[in-house]
Amino acid sequence: METFNTEILINHTPYETRVAIVEDGILQDVMVERERRRGIVGNIYKGKVQRVLPGMDAAFIDIGLERTGFLHLKNIGRKDEDAPQRISDVLREGQTLLVQVLKDPIGSKGARLSTEISIPSRFLVFLPNADDIGVSIKIASEAQRQSLRDLMVGFHRGHQGGFIVRTAIESADMWAMRADMQYLQRVWEAILQAQQQAKPGTLIYRDLPLYLKVLRDYVSPQVSRVAIDDHDAYQEMSRFVENFLFEMSDRLLHYRGEKTLFARFGIDDEIELSLKRHVPLKSGGHLIIDQTEAMTTIDVNTGGYVGKLSQDDTIYRTNLEAAHAIARQLRLRNLGGIIMLDFIDMVNAEHQQGVMEALILALGGDKNKYTISPISPLGIIEMTRKRTRESLRQVMCETCPSCEGRGYVKSTETIVYELFRELMREAREFNPKMLSVIGSPELIDFIREEESLSFSDLQALLKTPIRLQSDTSYHHGLYEIALS
């Protein structure tokens, strides 16, 4: 795989964290985590059995949330092959136990739970209730898998629990695997200690926030810099680096520039472009990207580009450029599921093969698992890409109220956070006595009702009062800021 000079830029506020991964100066990936939408999958609770349901081989577990969680017999870890096969033989009402969330609560349903605890790190997954060593099947070489398994058996000797070796170890020093193992065992010891002191219904362990998860999952020797613009988050990241990534200590930076971090590196503009349907190519051609519930289609067009080449060569060059652009857009927009790539028709078999090879090469840096079919005579490639999180559009946009779902616009939440960032810029630059926001009714109502705490914190942070004024002449998401 090609080696990149990678920078990780993190914009953090109390209500939202945005991460940009930049390779050789080009934005390749964007992640957004909003505090009010942060899920509970992976969280570990000290639960209490509220009710056992023998007819369903399941139980309701109180984990301190509004709705009880649901634990099925098949999600109860058992090492003994001859263990009881009925829920009533395993659980009793009032019993306490550690459970981990598999699925977030949806509608009237509570969280789906498991007692088969798993704790991920950069290179390993720790299974405290297991005792075997596994290696990811994504590591293609059987010899390498066996070598990794033998190393882990040696490292693991004398310790309890099982491990799964993750694919990321392929690009790391093998001693990093041992460091990860020690880190995970310390985490598990802390969980057990917290469990002893906690009351039932208490959160014992929560997966890392995005700005720390990035350190855990994305830092590699190719990362030249990690910059974050929030002081408190920087301090927390520094402690994490000191404990687990000491070699990164000189590459973690606290950004204090006059411009915001994302504005300084043009990330905001790139995100804006990534929400659009039309993607221009340097040659003059363009991509048209359409997301639907069933699939995503990406159409390649030459546009007005002709140049001095023959028509076949013009088409070939445009398709080669499009292959690299498509791979980037898949990552940047986090597109998943079924994806249809409609390249410009090519008659020349060598050109078809060249485009396929260019696409596979460009996809080499993609962490998400994908499958890809040979190019058809019509220039169409069918592929699938694993969904690991919501797409950028799903996170930042909502259905357009004017076209009844045939298009999309930025969600009110996204616009409010953009407004908050703009207020921070204005306050920093002009130091006003007061800021006034005049905006559409749904925007102002959202701030007052859904983001009242964040809005209050923002005023305290800026030490500046902010007046909100609703105006029906402003359409969806529109606003203005006045200084006084």
Helix (H, G, I), strand (E, B) or coil at 5: coil
Tell me, what's the pLDDT at 16?
93
Query: How many CB atoms sit inside 10 A of residue 274's CB?
Result: 19
Structure confidence at residue 475 (pLDDT): 83
What token pair was written down for 370? 């994908």
> In a 10 Å sphere around its CB, with 0-12 CB exposed, 13-18 middle and 19+ buried, how is residue 74 labelled?
exposed
The single-letter DSSP state of residue 106 is B
Report the C-alpha gap between 483 and 428 in whole angstroms.
Answer: 12
> Cβ contacts of residue 283 below 8 Å, gap of 6+?
302, 303, 305, 307, 317, 318, 321
C-beta of residue 214 within 8 angstroms of C-beta of residue 8: yes
Band (pLDDT 50/70/90 cuts) for residue 312 is confident
Cα separation, 299 vs 325, in Å, equals 12
| Percentage of the chain modeled with pLDDT above 90 | 47
Chain mean pLDDT for the chain = 87
Mean pLDDT for 7-12 is: 96
Residue with tokens 């204090």: 256
What digits encode the pLDDT tens for the residues 255-311?
998 888 999 999 999 999 888 889 999 888 899 999 887 889 999 988 765 555 678
Question: In angstroms, rounded to a whole number, what is the distance separating the alpha carbons of residues 467 and 434?
Answer: 8
Q: H/E element holding 322? A: helix 311-333
Backbone dihedral angles phi then psi of residue 296, each to the nearest 5 degrees: -115, 135
**Distance in angstroms (rounded) separating the CA atoms of residues 379 and 373:** 11
Architecture of domain 117-205: 2-Layer Sandwich (3.30)
Task: Read off the pLDDT of residues 82-125 as tens digits, 9 standing for 90 and up.
Answer: 555 788 888 999 999 999 998 878 767 888 999 999 998 878 89
- pLDDT tens string 14-63: 999 999 999 988 999 999 988 887 778 889 999 999 999 988 889 999 99
Query: Which tens digit of pLDDT belongs to each residue from 342-384?
Result: 998 888 889 989 999 999 999 987 878 889 998 887 778 999 9
C-beta of residue 165 within 8 angstroms of C-beta of residue 123: yes
Nearest-angstrom CA–CA distance, 140 and 167: 10
Q: Is the pLDDT of residue 450 over 70?
A: yes
The band of 236, judged by pLDDT with boundaries at 50, 70 and 90, is: very high
Comparing 12-16, 164-168, 170-174, 336-340, the range with the smallest average pLDDT is 170-174
- Token representation of residue 28: 């390749």
Contact criterion met (CB below 8 Å) for 59 and 71: yes
Question: Is the CATH code 3.40.50.970 the one for domain 411-483?
Answer: no
Cβ count within 10 A of residue 279: 21
DSSP letter assigned to residue 463? T
The tokens 């007005």 sit on which residue? 304
**Does residue 2 surpass a pLDDT of 80?**
no
432-449: per-residue pLDDT in tens? 999 999 999 999 999 999
Q: Is 122 helix (H, G, I), strand (E, B) or coil?
A: coil
**What is the enclosing helix (H) or strand (E) of 317?**
helix 311-333
DSSP string for 194-245: HHHHPPTTEEEE-PPPHHHHHHHHH--TTEEEEEES-HHHHHHHHHHHHHH-
Mention every residue, 6+ apart, whose C-beta is less than 8 A from residue 65: 40, 105, 110, 111
The predicted model scores a pTM of 0.71
Residue-by-residue DSSP string for 362-418: HGGG--S-EEEPPPPTTSEEEEEE---S--HHHHHEEE-TTTTTSSEEE-HHHHHHH
For the chain, how many residues are written?
Answer: 484
- Give the whole-angstrom CA distance, residue 234 versus residue 227: 9
1 or 25: which leads in pLDDT: 25
Residue 120 corresponds to which tokens in the numbers above?
């991920």
Report whether pLDDT(235) > 80. Answer: yes
Q: Would you state the pLDDT for residue 195?
A: 93
Q: Which pLDDT band, with edges at 50, 70 and 90, does 78 fall under?
A: low
When pLDDT is cut at 50, 70 and 90, the band that residue 1 belongs to is: very low
Q: Are 477 and 440 in contact (CB under 8 A)?
A: yes
State the average pLDDT over residues 240-265: 88
- Residues 404-419 have a mean pLDDT of 84
The Cα–Cα gap between 368 and 136 comes to 14
Question: CA–CA separation, 359 vs 324, rounded Å?
Answer: 6
pLDDT tens track for 137-154? 777 778 888 888 888 888
Helix (H) or strand (E) holding 291: strand 286-291
Q: Which run of H or of E encompasses 279?
A: strand 278-280
Helix or strand run (H / E) with residue 193:
helix 174-197
Grade residue 479 by pLDDT with cuts at 50, 70 and 90: very high
Topology of domain 44-84+92-116, CATH: OB fold (Dihydrolipoamide Acetyltransferase, E2P) (2.40.50)
| Least trusted range by pLDDT, from 44-53, 121-130, 195-204 | 121-130
Q: At the topology level of CATH, where does 1-40+206-272 sit?
A: Nucleotidyltransferase; domain 5 (3.30.420)
Q: How many CB atoms lie within 10 A of CB 387?
A: 12
CA distance 115 to 299: 46
- Residue-range domain boundaries for the chain: 1-40+206-272, 44-84+92-116, 117-205, 275-392, 411-483
Share of the chain above pLDDT 70, in %: 93
